[in-house]
Amino acid sequence: MCGIVGCHHVPDAKSFKPTALKMAKQCRHRGPDWSGSYSSNNTVLAHERLSIVGVESGAQPLTNADESIALAVNGEIYNHRLVRKGLKNPYHFKTHSDCEVIIPLYMEFGIDAPKHLDGMFSFVLYDKKQDRTIAARDPIGITSFYMGWSSSMPEARFFASELKCLHAVCDKISYFPPGHIYDSLTDKVTRYYEPSWWDPTKVPSTPVDYKLLRETFEKSVRKRLMAEVPYGVLLSGGLDSSLVAAIAQRETLRLKAAALQQLENGETKTEEDEDIGEGLVGIDDENKLSTVTYLPQLNSFSIGLPDAPDSKAALEVAKFLGTKHHSMTFTIEDGLNALSDVIYHLETFDVTTIRASTPMFLLSRKIKAMGVKMVLSGEGSDEIFGGYLYFHAAPDKEAFHEETVRRVKNLHLSDCLRANKSTSAWGLEARVPFLDKQFLEVAMNIDPQDKMITKEHIEKYILRKAFDVSDEPGAKPYLPDHILYRQKEQFSDGVGYGWIDALKDNAELHVTDEMIKNPKPEWGSDIPDSKEAYWYRLMFDEHFPAYCAETVMRWTPTWSKQTDPSGRAIAIHNQKYEEAK
């Protein structure tokens, strides 16, 4: 991940530039490799770079030939090679960066440019000739992005990767909505992402196609191996991360074998595999060799308290797949000591997000210290397939589908926020194959009756079945059966049940009954419903002004009266484990 800041229509760009650079510095952790800036007229762009693709030549902001267009991007464009080939008008590319294609797309399609992108991104583009700024965010909001206003500069508009970049300058901030684009010519934010599944009242009736589901997800993982730096996979031992790891390992071994075969055959290198001799191989959108870095073995990473449920399962999966596994532990004290930093980086006070983010935050630091800069992760599956245990209580398929659509639309405020900011805090990038546009078109258009949880079908049954090849002669299994059909554990539970218990106990020490009865007036109607939630809100307030709370959403299960969002607090969790004994 990188960090970006865009300041449009400030009174004077030259005098405002030092302020813009200070704003960008607040998210330098996202892009520790280099810093860059661009200013013209009344607009300033600043960029903090984490180099993943186009390492040697992709410094930003990027500009066109006459520097009349400047671009600051945070993200990865997986179809950039196809975009380059498909441009109607010739364009001289200055770099090998995947993100540079946004400039010629804008020149050809204007504000429709994001419709042609396949990836995760937030960007600010300035067109000097039109004195026009546009800003956009990827369809689901995998990359974090905010928009701000200042009453002292009413004509100005501000954009940044993180909240902390804006609150010193802006007195109003909102999250930039995923799948939308801002155009300064109209001063409006409009939605460009219009998938077929967007309307939750249109309940799909397409029966599940297991082969299509499997092949589409494999392609999604495959395209996310695009990198020129060491990468790995986050492996909790649950279904989602294990499937990602299984496919990534297959692809890594396949591509490595293809590269070695190519070298043995003495084949001529093309632009798309020019670095193959250095061990850089991969695929493009047509399954042809491209540039991707592999390690001698695919590295997998897990974290938990000693004897955590997920850590044991992750080790078993790693041995089965043959990855080079790093099982890391943390102590409750480590987690408690990190809480304030976690809240500062996450920019939220949501209980579920903080519980799950703290181990991920600690793990990301260790991964980056090993020299790995990109990891694949399993976020999004539970929202798409109704994998959370509270989905057991869905009254009918219509309600089930409506809830999956709602959850996917809000991922940018929960799991995407966690994955993006927990890793970016240490200059690590997380990619999420389940949120691929093509995969979403397939998975969200399956008849929700096929997704419903029944006595015969465990949660996410159709995803498990899609990768169950036991009835296919000669097929190599993706995962052991008991992992493929392992019951859901929320990450904050799976790292060790003692973690959540310790958080609750410590909240009791920091928050009194009297404090609960007398919440801060500036919190308005957004009152914490537990001492743990109250404690997190106090820490949030230490870092951010009260109005920043408007960007936060609390994660709560539907069809449930529980106040604790932990999966372990849902009765079905204990019931299923009792049945398994």
Instruction: Give per-residue pLDDT as tens, 195-247.
Output: 999 999 999 999 999 999 999 999 999 999 988 888 999 999 999 999 999 99
pTM above 0.75, yes or no: yes
Picking from 142, 164, 191, the residue at the C-terminal end of a domain is: 191
- Do 548 and 347 contact (CB within 8 A), yes or no? yes
Q: Is residue 576 part of a domain?
A: no
pLDDT at 568: 54
Please state, in angstroms and rounded to a whole number, the distance separating the CA atoms of residues 408 and 437.
12
Q: Is residue 531 part of a domain?
A: yes
* pLDDT tens, residue by residue, 472-530: 999 999 999 999 998 866 554 567 679 999 999 999 999 999 999 999 999 999 999 99
Q: Do 132 and 78 lie in a common domain? A: yes
In the residue annotation, 170 being an active-site residue is answered as: no
pLDDT at 318 over 50: yes
Q: Is residue 72 part of a domain?
A: yes
112 is in an annotated binding site: no
The count of domains in the chain is 2
Give the Cβ contact number of residue 108 at 10 Å.
15
Q: C-alpha 438: how far from its chain's center?
A: 16
Q: Based on the number of CB atoms within 10 Å of its own CB, is 349 exposed (0-12), middle (13-18) or buried (19 or more)?
A: buried
State which amino acid sits at residue 270: T
Supply the mean pLDDT for the chain.
91
3-state per-residue secondary structure call for 122-184: EEEEEECCCCEEEEEECCCCCCCCEEEEECCEEEEEEEECCHHHCCCCCCEEEECCCCEEEEC
Q: Is residue 204 part of a domain?
A: no
What's the pLDDT band for 82 if we cut at 50, 70, 90? very high
Please state, in angstroms and rounded to a whole number, the distance separating the CA atoms of residues 119 and 495.
30
pLDDT at 493: 59
To the nearest 10 degrees (0 to 180), the angle between helices 332-346 and 415-424 is 100
Q: Is residue 580 part of a domain?
A: no
98 is in an annotated binding site: yes
Q: Do 166 and 284 lie in a common domain? A: no
Catalytic residue among 2, 99, 165, 416: 2
Q: Do 176 and 218 lie in a common domain? A: no
Radius of gyration of the chain (CA): 23
Q: Do 140 and 178 lie in a common domain? A: yes
Helix (H, G, I), strand (E, B) or coil at 7: strand
pLDDT at 250 over 60: yes
Percent share of the chain, pLDDT over 90? 81
234 is in an annotated binding site: yes
Half-sphere exposure (Cβ direction) of 357: Cα atoms closer than 13 Å: 31
Please state, in angstroms and rounded to a whole number, the distance separating the CA atoms of residues 485 and 506.
35
378 is in an annotated binding site: yes
377 is in an annotated binding site: yes
pLDDT at 211: 97
Specify which residues 280 forms β-bridges with. Answer: 293
Per the structure, the complete domain to which residue 112 belongs is given by 3-191
CA distances from 356 to 296, 366, 384 (A): 30, 17, 19
Q: Do 168 and 286 lie in a common domain? A: no
* pLDDT tens, residue by residue, 131-174: 999 999 999 999 999 999 999 999 999 999 999 999 999 999 99
Picking from 126, 160, 191, the residue at the C-terminal end of a domain is: 191
